[in-house]
Chain A
Amino acid sequence: GAVVSQHPSWVICKSGTSVKIECRSLDFQATTMFWYRQFPKQSLMLMATSNEGSKATYEQGVEKDKFLINHASLTLSTLTVTSAHPEDSSFYICSAAGGVTEAFFGQGTRLTVV
């Protein structure tokens, strides 16, 4: 299968700071990228969908000004958690799709805000 690389795999930041998470498709062009969040013992919940060169579409209840998504190229999407707070601590994972039926997932990022 195709490879999606997500960095960092874990990050600890202070409350009030911003954190950027990168998601790269290494061997295919990702026309669409999805960002999910997973709280402990919960399922993955879709946060937003981004198409290359367009503004991201956010799911209901997800603050677009807090979770900034950029998908400027066909191989890179970034998620920036702005002014992070402890309640933003979670597991964030990206998924990339590009003209195939299957979406491929990154390794995920464990964010801890202290």
Chain B
Amino acid sequence: KQEVTQIPAALSVPEGENLVLNCSFTDSAIYNLQWFRQDPGKGLTSLLLIQSSQREQTSGRLNASLDKSSGRSTLYIAASQPGDSATYLCAVRVYSGYALNFGKGTSLLVTP
């Protein structure tokens, strides 16, 4: 069974810092990996989707990398802002059309 782990569980940084969120998964045979943002009491916002054949994806200040062989992904947030405060979830899909396996998330607080 695919297990997804996210480290750290919580993170507090001052505005402007660059930061890295980590995600690891136990089975390297994945179809794709997705990073989401979840605001308190809200649904999920998809940030980046990385196919198994890709090494990284970028969107604005966000960059996600994937090292499938080692079972790791990182989400890099550049020049953090208070509006980035949220929980960030990593999820992997084992096969096309299958459900996502989620990590517990990293709760990020960016202070002004």
Contact = CB atoms under 8 A, between A and B. Distances in A.
Interface of A: 1, 6, 32, 34, 36, 41-46, 49, 91, 93, 95, 97, 101-108, 110
A44 B43 CA distance: 11
Given A44-B91, A101-B51, A102-B34, 12 more contacts: A34-B99, A36-B99, A44-B100, A49-B99, A91-B41, A93-B44, A97-B97, A101-B31, A101-B32, A103-B93, A103-B100, A105-B46
Contact of B46 (A34, A42, A46, A102): A102
B46 A95 contact: no
Contacts of A105: 36, 43-44, 46
Nearest to A107: B43
Interface residues of B, number: 24
A40 to B, nearest CB: 10
B43 A106 contact: yes
Q: Dominant SS at the A interface?
A: strand
A26 B93 CA distance: 23
Given A46-B99, A102-B34, A108 B43 contact: yes
B5 to A, nearest CB: 10
Contacts of B96: 101
B43 A43 contact: no
A13 B89 CA distance: 29
Interface in B20-57: 31-32, 34, 36, 41-44, 46, 49, 51
Interface string B82-109: 0000000101010011011111110000
A110 B41 contact: yes
Contact of B89 (A43, A49, A91, A108): A43
